[in-house]
Amino acid sequence: MGYATWLTSLRALLIDLDGVMYRGDVALPGASAVLPTLAELGIEYAFVTNNATLTPAQYQAKLGRMGVAADPERVVTSSIATAVYLGSISPDGGRVCIVGEEGLTRAIEEAGFVVADDDPTFVVVGLDRNLTYERLAAATRGIMNGAAFIATNADPAIPVENGLNPGAGAIVAAVTTATGVQPTVIGKPEPTLLLAALGRLGVPPEEAAIVGDQVQTDIRAGRAAGIATILIAGDLAGEIPGVAPDVVVRDLAELLAQLRAARRPAPSP
């Protein structure tokens, strides 16, 4: 299928947040026009993010400050996917030691688990911008005592206004180094987030695409989920032999222009 034909038949767009919609608290080109344009063109959307720090309602508020009126039900985070995973392997709940922020803690508590450092069944590690040595020590003790090690994601860095900051993967690497144990990773590049989002939208993979800023996570996840892939070119894009995006654009503004052109009604004869 040619690119123009593919854009014409697209029913849903899964949109990464960090590095696509914004960097830190600064909206990126095209961000404010995304939802009105997709609504005009009849394309469904969901935001899919590895960032586990905020709840969907908090992401709604953050996007709202940038002029983006998002539905929190359309925000699927690695926290939510991690909580779903825990529920699938431990339906009766359990004790969870968490290295992370409110978005992760709340998702796990709402799934019926007890957040506690002593005698945990699971240790879940995500991005924690208030990380302390004691949190690393608690996670290490839990894993060394037999708790299963789960990572919300393994992103090495996250884009912010003035460059890159350490991501969840940097914290996960510290715990892996301390314990010698490799985690089960939930977020992208695994397909879990994308498939959960498509399930909410009721759209099959072959009629959807993901737009992200990293080959390592977003494009690989799209490939794993069986959906088309669109890469925002930038400092985190990266390259992986044998893993190439279907489309590369400069930013969301360029992508929206291409969508409009592809779906513009043909002129009357």
Which residues are catalytically annotated? 16, 18
Instruction: Say which residue the tokens 């080959």 belong to.
Output: 215
115: Cβ contacts below 8 Å, ≥ 6 apart: 95, 96, 97, 98, 105, 108, 109
- The one-letter amino acid code at 97 reads C
Distance CA 38, CA 28 (A): 17
The values of phi and psi at residue 227, to 5°, are -115, 160
**Number of other residues whose CB lies within 10 A of the CB of residue 146:** 9
Beta strands in 102-240 (DSSP E): 114-115, 122-125, 148-151, 157-160, 163-166, 184-185, 208-212, 228-232
DSSP codes joined into one string, 80-117: HHHHHHHHHH-TT--EEEEES-HHHHHHHHHTTPEE-S
